[in-house]
Structures are given as structure tokens and as C-alpha cells.
Amino acid sequence: MRRLIFTRLLKDALLTGWIVLAFATVAAAVITGSKHDLSGKGWGTDEICKFCHIPHNAISVIDGAWKAPLWNHKMTTANFTMYSSPSLKVNPDPQPRSPSKLCLSCHDGVTAIDSYGTRSGTHLMTGSSNLGTDLSDDHPISIPWDHRAATGGNCLGCHVMHGGGELKPDLPLRNGYIECVSCHEPHNKYSFPNMTRYTMAGSALCLKCHGK
């Protein structure tokens, strides 16, 4: 009887292990084949992560203060025209803040996608992914989140009670600011079109903050 119980427990443990491994493999591979997988372009490396990240000799500080996530890509030096509207209750900063500059270091259309490490690239972003330097026709970024203006002081209108200060569902602020990564997840974690953090069906992503 003990041997039978042990055998069943062992089988259950092995099955659980395979399930965990399978999910871990899927989670680790979501960027593979996505728009951010540049490994097959022939641009100096067949590594996926190297275009943005590197484990050693990374750019550790951007704009003199912000610590980048093991950054390995040339930073944009462009001057951007920011979004402006008389209906805004809070205006964006005069220029994109560091977290959004990471994205704009490819999507500005003037900084080469394959400029990483010590490499000077030549391939520029094209098509609808090229946001250019005029951001006046795009959703405002680097804009401080004013809780009182947006929610009338109702914290739970935007925050999960024990969610570490992140907007729900998983719409993170960066030092209190809405940035590109507040709506987009660059590693394709959620597998939505355009790497959004939530579905755009029925404007669901927009309605997480707007129309409160």
C-alpha cells in the first residue's frame, strides 16, 4: 500500500513538474516571433534580447539619474513635439522622460534600430511603427497621473488595493507618470495586437482610465 501511494505521489509530482516546465517555456518564449524579435534580421547578432538588453557593460544610467534595465541600445537624442490639448487637466513634460525614451530610441524614426552596444546601425523604423519626433498626434506620454483630477479621490477607481500602486489591470506608472509602458508591454507578455497590456476590443484598455 505504501509503495502504491508513493508511486502515485511520484507520478503526480512528475506531471506537475512537466506542467510547470511547459508554462515556463511558453512564458519565456512570448517575445520569440513577435515584432520585437529582431534576431533573424542579420543585424550583427542572432540573439533576441541583445538589441535592448545586455547582462554586462550595460548603460546603467540615463539622463543623469534614471537607472535603465541593463540597457544596450543607443538612446534617442531627438527633440520631440509633445501632445497638447485644451482639454488636458495635466500637461506632459516638455520632453519624454527616460522610460519612454527607451521605446523612442527605435520608434522615433531617426535612431537606427540596429544601433546597439558599440554598433552603429543603419536600419530605421518605417511604417506605422515610426512615430517620428512629432508626438502631438499620439496619446500623451510622460504625463503625471493626477489622482484627484481623474477619479475625484476614489483610489479604488484605478488601483488594486494590494497591487503595489499599479493601475489595474497591470497598467504601471513610472515614478508617478504615464509612459509608453503604461499601456504597452514590450515583451509581448499578453499577446495582444500592438503589444498592449489589455485588449482594445470595445476600447477596453482606454476605458480602464477614461470615462471614470
Query: Which amino acid is it at 59?
Result: I
For the chain, the structural domain boundaries read 1-30, 36-212
pLDDT value of residue 149: 53
pLDDT value of residue 15: 45
Q: What angle do CA 170, 113, 51 make, to 5 degrees?
A: 65
pTM, two decimal places: 0.78
Set of cell numbers at residue 171: 497598467
pLDDT value of residue 64: 76
pLDDT value of residue 33: 93
Q: Concatenated DSSP letters for the chain?
A: -HHHHHHHHHHHHHHHHHHHHHHHHHHHTTTTTSTT--TTS-SS---SGGGTB-SSS-EEEETTTEEEEEE-BPPP----BPP--TT-SSPPPSS--HHHHHHHHHHTSSS-TT-BTT----PPP-GGG---SB-TTS---SEE--HHHHHTT-GGGTB-TTSTTPBTTTB--BTTEE-HHHHB-TT-SS--GGGBSS--GGGHHHHTTTT-
Set of cell numbers at residue 125: 523604423
- 66-71 and 143-144: which strand pairing? unpaired
- 177-178 and 143-144: which strand pairing? antiparallel
Set of cell numbers at residue 63: 539622463
Per-residue pLDDT of the chain (212 residues; tens, 9 = 90+): 545 444 554 455 444 444 333 333 334 448 999 999 999 999 999 999 999 999 999 988 887 777 778 999 999 999 999 999 998 888 999 999 999 999 999 999 999 999 999 999 999 999 999 999 999 999 999 999 876 555 555 565 565 555 444 455 568 888 889 999 999 999 999 999 999 999 999 999 998 888 75
pLDDT value of residue 98: 93
pLDDT value of residue 154: 59
pLDDT value of residue 19: 38
| Cα separation of the two ends of the chain | 61
pLDDT value of residue 157: 58
Question: Cell 484627484 identifies what position?
Answer: 148
